[in-house]
Structure 1
Amino acid sequence: MKAVQISVRRLVEFVLRGGSIDSRMTSSDRALEGTKIHQLLQKSAGEEYQAEVSLKLDRTVDGVVFSLDGRADGIINEQTIDEIKTTETVMEEITEDFRPLHWAQLICYGFMFAEKSDLPEVTLQLTYYQVADEEIKQFRRIMSREEMGVFVDDLLSKYAVWAKMSAAWEMKRNKTIQELSFPYNSYRRGQRELSIAVYRTAVSGENLFCEAPTGIGKTMSTLFPAVKAMGEGKTDKIFYFTAKTITRQVAEDALDEMRRKGLAARSVTITAKDKICFLDERKCEPDHCQFARGYYDRLNEALFDLLGQEEAITRTVVEQYAREYTLCPFELSLDVALFCDAIVCDYNYLFDPVVYLKRFFSEGPGKYTFLVDEVHNLVDRARSMFSATLRKSLVMQVKRQLDKKLHKRLWNAVNAMNKVMVSLNKQLSEPGETIHVNKIGLTEWNESVLKFTFVAKEWLPQNTQSETQSDVLELYFESLRYVKIAELYDERYTTQITRTHSDLEIKQLCLDPAFLLSEKLKLGASSVLFSATLRPIDYYTNVLGGEEDTSRMVFSSPFEQQNMHLLVADNISTKYQMRDQSLASVVEALAALIAGKKGNYLFFFPSFQYLQNVYELFREKHPEIVARKQEGAMDEEQREAFLEAFKAGNLETLVGFCVLGGVFSEGIDLRGERLIGAAIVGVGLAQLNPESDLIKDYYNETIGQGFDYAYQLPGMNKVLQAVGRVIRGESDRGVILLIDERFSASRYRTLFPAHWNHAKIVKNTKEITEQVTEFWRNN
């Protein structure tokens, strides 16, 4: 059994945890509020104070060799170990036994230092810094090396049970990986080459950007080689990140397929907290939620049972054990993830600076392989994750509800925020007006938000029954995000102050997320970022944090080119100012497309309004055709009902009107006769808007490609994704119609994939009808 590496923090928190989940007591990560304070206290302590001292200890307990590591905040005069804790709790409530885990951590550091320096005893100093009042309280204990050693050995002994279980599992897993062969009888075209590239990336510890068109089998082509690399000790965990539930299901299926071929591997799928919560109203507080109350008291027993019984820990499995042991299902999925080989989850669990998985990524890089699927979605998601907004309406809502005398400190903090917003509002004369400033111009605002977070964190646990509590909590979490983003703010950001009819918004907008994404990717040993549509690949490599020398690969479609008949109607303009004029031409082109064969078709439009206009005229001109349209706010049940109508056995033609870039333009899988054609109206450009214009200006200034990066390339990706809905398998046949004069322009034709080079130009409805009739006659 190899040495078990574990940090002091994880050891203490795992062995000694107990009590309840309580969102009101959730501490921010140290980087958010503690680092600067630690540095300030360390600097003021004098020359005899050694700050941030790394400590290591190798120790054998119960037959397990442990390699324990940690970092003491300070060592004074070579004999006192100092541990600094920032807190918002009032000093009167902080006693020596305020947080037993703090002492446990300090005792570990003390023993490690005593062993290193051969000291018979050390002084342990626990320093609390009260943020809001800037007060310090210290507690000291003198402990012998022997006494501390007994304490540390007891912790390690309790953890040894889990370490032995994990080691036995790893041996079993690696043996099955070594015996595992590719789960299918043969590779598809391009699949072997992709698998080899992913394997080399995982083994070499590098990054790879890859366009792998539909049909290659990209999920298995990335997971299988990553698993093989794990069996060789090149990676400890595989993270499969994706934006959509359906893609997570595909990843689960691929892992199950390998298990059917003999693989022993634990995987967990992490479902969003709001989706998996058992309660109608999510409130993570022990007096409100039975699954939060006493959570940590029951957790380890549940984990031991779960890990002994299950390998594929899906949402259903998580919910089953969570109900059996009365545990929060979301937190259970996070806790079991520590013992899993593969973790399937959303992008935000790595990339979001607030909700990322701190248990994996807060202590620096790990031996992880990151597989990032459908990565074309990550550009907009990243900008959103690295941005933050605060609204005056929420600030005022909290202020109005607070009793000024009863909650004076909190009222003052909220009032300070509101005063700055009132001042900014006066600079905007008209609703809809926006001004842009850099962070430096909002120093007073940022300081007021930070001050509020300190005061609110102290107020929340003391006022659990207050009617204002939920609103204060909402403002607190939004303010925490704002403060965190302010720490990331640099020349790749701008701040928007926007006045609406009834509100004022202050938004820190991330224009270029590449650097921040790059830093996040460094938390793993290797990364593969892939999608069916990733062109031009240099653009995606640039905006998603790649370097000039980052490897990139583009694969051809594995399907026969002649299976998809691609037509370009470049006689019609769908530019915004021409849409009314060309409306009738668009309708007749759509009718011509479906004239060749009865079946199911999808029509895609750049906006809901344009969709509605075409839909109404189409229904008027062709009432005999069954038509359905995407609505603005469809829940999951409505979406499923919409897709359910696209049956393979439909006797009459069915057309679906959908929005380009929406839920039906990517991620859906209508195979065979369920979908035999699609039309894409327009080149996918987003409507001109202030944020996209800011992004355009930024990239114009930095690389001279503003319009491309802000409008054209994101729009064309929507087109590529929509076209990809039609041919989903080797036996599929279908027709595609691209409607817009710009599709013939070189700046768009150069973005066509190689398997589109047979596209035919059609100049009128007669030619469209002739082309589709001929295609279906031969197919």
Structure 2
Amino acid sequence: HLTCELSLQKTDPWRTLPLIRAVRRHPAGAWHRLTTLSTRTLAGTTELLAGWLSDWLARWTQPGDLFQDTRPEQAHLNTLLKLLTLLEQPPETLVFQHTGNQLHIRALDARHHLQQVLGQAQGCALFSATLQPFEPWQAVYGVSPANTLSLPSPFPADRRCVLTITNLNLRQRHREAHWPAIAHLTARIWQQRPGNYLVFTPTRSAATRIRTLLHQFYPSLPVHLPETADEDHALMETMATRTDTGVVITPLAGRWCEGIDLPADALLGAVVLGTGMPPWDDFHQHRADWAREQGWDGDTHTFVYPGWARVLQALGRVIRTPEDRGVLVLVDDRYARPPLSDLMRQRFPDAVDVKTPRQLDALLGRFWAGT
């Protein structure tokens, strides 16, 4: 995302920008389209920022000095460059929010910026295991039309056990009542094959509640809820060398969703609670409206596809080599209905929907018996 945050304390230079004076005439806390500001305000702000940039760059005699400087001016310069980049985008693609001492500006659509960057190259290759279906991501990245290539997975499907549990409603208003059932589900999965597992939750408060219930119902089950980056890294190192670490509970948007590699028995399974969709808040409503203005399905582009990509990233922690085996469990009633049911069939045609605890035990028992 293209985004910029400005501190508006008395000592910060941004307070003198025409943009800031205009922004503060809007209600605090809510997100607003930048088009509610006059073109004169935006042009005056850009002109002033360009002057500041020239003044700051003149302070360094060698190009390398710019990146070695650690004074507060360096942080101001980085923020200035972000702000200038944002203000180069079409105003109708930007929204802002102020909260008294801070201003946030975000792009609803980064295609203009991406096209500027990618246009400097002879060609580009964008690749990820989360880019399907191709069409919406081509539109979002502004690379349509483009050549696409879908490669088969190098990981044998019979080395994974993909399960859905679609009789639980984990929307925000209903999920609290289901946390005891989730605690029992987690314990049953672990009991079938004790080892290291990840449980991804919609929020940190949900993770805390599930950990409390697991301690209450299953005091001998090792459960972890890391709070800091240092705790995350220490736990990852432990899991890489010990297969009895237990269950790690973490928010789906946290550091455990990508960039970690725990092959073989270092990680036996992952449970994803919910759909990974962004919150139904003011900012994402603006983004959905913008998507509809482009002729897209606003809710699907804003909520479903980003959530699905996040879910795939989390599940991807389990199978890291062709020799790995693991269990992938997705819990939410929305996986049984379009569009998520369609995405499930395309990605996991072998998924089984579990209706009872006895069925869960039987499926996991047969899977692990094949190792």
Alignment TM-score > 0.5, same fold: yes
Measure how far apart 1:476 and its partner are: 4.7
| Higher strand proportion | 1
**Does the 8 Å CA contact 1:573/1:740 hold for their aligned counterparts?**
yes
Out of 439-448 and 571-580, give the one that drifted further: 439-448
Deviation at 1:596, TM superposition (A): 0.9
- Are the equivalent residues in 1 in contact too, given 2:5–2:102 (CA < 8 A)? no
Q: CA deviation at 1:442?
A: 5.2
Partner of 2:285: 693
Amino acid in structure 2 at the alignment position of 1:720: L
Q: Equivalents in 2 of 1:459, 1:553: separation in Å?
A: 45
Query: Could you tell me whether the CA contact under 8 Å between 2:130 and 2:309 is conserved in 1?
Result: yes
Mark the CA change 1:453 to 1:755 in structure 2 (over 3 Å): closer, same or farther: closer
The 1:763–1:702 alpha-carbon spacing in structure 2 relative to 1, beyond 3 Å, is: same
Q: Deviations over 1:500-531 (max 9, x none)?
A: 2x414152x32122243233222222221111
Contact 1:598 1:653 in 2 (8 A): no
Q: 1:757 to 1:433 in 2, by over 3 A?
A: closer
3-state DSSP of counterpart to 2:272: strand
Instruction: Give the conservation status (yes or no) of the 8 Å contact 2:5–2:103.
Output: yes
Determine helix, strand or coil for the equivalent of 1:738: strand
Task: For 1:473-484, list aligned pairs within 5 A.
Answer: 474-484=75-85
Partner of 1:654: 246
Q: Deviations over 1:125-149 (max 9, x none)?
A: xxxxxxxxxxxxxxxxxxxxxxxxx
**Alpha-carbon spacing, 1:755–1:421, altered in 2? closer, same or farther (3 Å):** closer
Larger radius of gyration: 1
Matched, 1:505 2:98: no
Match of 1:392 in 2: 8
Alpha-carbon offset, residue 653 of structure 1 = 6.0
Question: Which of 135, 147, 164 matches 1:551?
Answer: 147
2:56 and 2:164 mapped to 1: Cα distance? Answer: 63
Question: How much has 1:693 moved relative to structure 2?
Answer: 1.6
Letter in 2 for 1:499: H
Q: In structure 2, do the counterparts of structure 1 residues 660 and 777 end up closer, same or farther at CA, with 3 Å as the change threshold? A: same
Counterpart in the other structure of 1:518: 115
Following superposition, the deviation at residue 647 of structure 1 comes to: 4.3
Q: Is the 8 A contact 1:446 1:483 kept in 2?
A: no
**Helix, strand or coil for the counterpart of 2:198?**
strand
Q: Structure 1, residues 455-480: CA drift from partner, whole Å, max 9, x if none?
A: 575478679xxxxx955554454234
SS at match of 2:248: strand
Higher RCO (CA < 8 A, seq sep 6+): 2
Residues 734 and 455 of structure 1: is their aligned pair in 2 closer, same or farther, counting only changes over 3 Å?
closer
Letter in 1 for 2:229: M
3-state DSSP class of the match of 1:547?
A: coil
Paired residue secondary structure (2:163): strand
1:79-118 to 2 correspondences below 5 Å: none
Change (3 A) 1:499 1:547: closer
Note if contact 1:556-1:754 (Cα within 8 Å) is conserved in structure 2: no
1:735 CA drift (Å): 1.4
The residue that corresponds to 1:722 in the other structure is: 314
* CA deviation string 1:678-714 (max 9, x = no partner): 1111111122222222111101121231111111111
Q: Which residue of 1 aligns with 2:24?
A: 425
Q: Confirm or deny: 8 A CA contact 1:569 1:740 kept in the other structure.
A: yes
| Inter-partner Cα distance in structure 2 for 1:690 and 1:513 | 19
Cα distance in structure 1, aligned partners of 2:116 and 2:21: 37
* 1:5-16 aligned within 5 A: none
One-letter amino acid of the structure 1 residue matched with residue 314 of structure 2: A
Matches within 5 A, 1:260-271: none
Number of residue pairs aligned between Structure 1 and Structure 2? 362
Partner of 2:90: 489
Aligned residue for 2:188?
592
What does residue 436 of structure 1 align with? 33
Closer, same or farther in 2 for the Cα pair 1:774/1:503, shift >3 Å? same
Partner of 1:713: 305
**Structure 1 CA distance for aligned equivalents of residues 104 and 236 of structure 2:** 39
2:218 aligned to 589, 610, 622, which one?
622
Contact 2:23 2:98 in 1 (8 A): no
Is the contact between residue 258 and residue 313 of structure 2 (CA under 8 Å) also seen in structure 1?
yes
1:576 aligns with 2:192: no
* AA of the residue aligned to 1:748: L
Give the 3-state SS of the residue equivalent to 2:164 in structure 1.
Answer: strand
Q: Is the 8 A contact 2:201 2:250 kept in 1?
A: yes
Instruction: Say whether the 8 Å CA contact 1:604–1:681 is kept in structure 2.
Output: yes
C-alpha distance in 2 between matches for 1:733 and 1:452: 55
Q: Percent identity?
A: 22
**Aligned-partner SS, 2:353:** strand
Aligned residue among 537, 542, 547 for 2:134: 537
Aligned twin of 1:750: 342
Report the equivalent of 1:527: 124
Distance 1:583 1:523, change over 3 A: same
Are the equivalent residues in 2 in contact too, given 1:439–1:494 (CA < 8 A)? no
Cα deviation, residue 440, structure 1: 5.5
CA RMSD of aligned residues (A): 2.7
1:766 aligns with 2:358: yes
Q: What is the CA distance between 1:716 and its match in structure 2?
A: 0.7
**Is the CA contact (8 Å cut-off) linking 1:685 and 1:716 kept in structure 2?**
yes
8 A contact 1:439–1:489 mirrored in 2? no
Contact 1:556 1:755 in 2 (8 A): no
Which residue does the alignment assign to 1:634?
Answer: 229
Residue type matched to 1:571 in 2? Answer: N
Task: Provide, for residues 47-99 of structure 1, a one-character-per-residue CA deviation record: whole Å limited to 9, x for no partner.
Answer: xxxxxxxxxxxxxxxxxxxxxxxxxxxxxxxxxxxxxxxxxxxxxxxxxxxxx
Measure the CA separation in 2 of the matches of 1:449 and 1:487: 9
Give the drift of 1:448.
Answer: 4.2
Query: How has the CA–CA distance of structure 1 residues 746 and 547 changed in structure 2, closer, same or farther, with 3 Å as cutoff?
Result: same
Q: Which residue of 2 aligns with 1:291?
A: none
Q: Is the 8 A contact 1:574 1:740 kept in 2?
A: yes
Report the alpha carbon displacement of residue 594 of structure 1 after superposing the two structures with TM: 1.4
Cα shift at 1:655 = 0.8
C-alpha distance in structure 2 between counterparts of 1:448 and 1:557, whole Å: 50
Q: Calculate the TM-score normalised by the size of structure 2.
A: 0.87
